[in-house]
Amino acid sequence: MQTNAQYFVSIESGVAFTGLNDIRKGNDGTLLSLKNDLKSPTSPFLRLRFGLLHNEKHLFSLLYAPLKLTATGSLSSNIIYDGINYEANLPLEAVYKFNSYRFTYNYRIINTNTFKFGLGLSAKIRDAGSSLRNSNQFSEDFNAGFVPLINILTTWQVSKKFGFELFGDALGARRGRAIDVALTTTYNFTESLQGNLGYRILDGGSDGTSSYNFVQFHFAVVSLTYQFKKK
């Protein structure tokens, strides 16, 4: 039976750079920068996306995007995290995790051979948080939550082989925001295989009464997308 559905799988990798990662836990907690107070090295990452395009207009996809970064160093003064006093001048390790699972629907409002523009929604489940450890103390604060996002897709096909793509999710609120957007160049190796090269930004966080976390990560990205034959 002809359904005019085209399935695809995409794998993205590269390196992540920390631009901002500030955390605080507890009403009396100390604001700690995992970039300036500790050292966060450049880290590799991996993303997987599976989906289908129905009737050339309806895009459905599932994203698995794990992210785990480790910052190390020592502090010149004591800090309080989650009610625990961490003494200065001791080796300190902070682990920051931000795993994202997303279901996205995007409808192509403009759909020509050279230019496409679509809007949609993403249902995001994020498993995120941080932990601190030194030789005497350990504490962690990891939790899962649901975040609705607005999805946007724009592609411009300059030639048969070469083009540009903007794809991502974003939403802002009074006490926080979430942005995950990539701008890439595209290259069609074959009718089924496409490569992307470019930049991704992951920005956001929340300011709560007992916890605070705002981040900004920059990614150098490369990806491959394989489109299966239409069914």
The ranges assigned to domains in the chain are: 5-227
Looking at the predicted structure, is the pLDDT value of residue 3 above 70? no
Q: What is the mean pLDDT of residues 87-114?
A: 95
**Could you name the CATH architecture of 5-227?**
Beta Barrel (2.40)
The per-residue pLDDT for range 34-67, each reduced to its tens digit, is 999 999 999 999 999 999 999 999 999 999 999 9
By CB neighbour count within 10 A (0-12 exposed, 13-18 middle, 19+ buried), where does 215 fall? buried
Q: What is the pTM of this model?
A: 0.92
Pick the closest to residue 215 from 226, 202, 196, 227 (CA basis). Answer: 202
How confident is the model over 141-190, as pLDDT tens digits?
A: 888 889 999 999 999 999 999 999 999 999 988 778 999 999 999 999 99
Query: What is the per-residue pLDDT across 67-77, written as a single tens digit (0 to 9) for each?
Result: 999 999 999 99
Question: How far is residue 182's CA from residue 108's CA, in Å, rounded to a whole number?
Answer: 18
In the chain, count H helices and then E strands: 0, 14
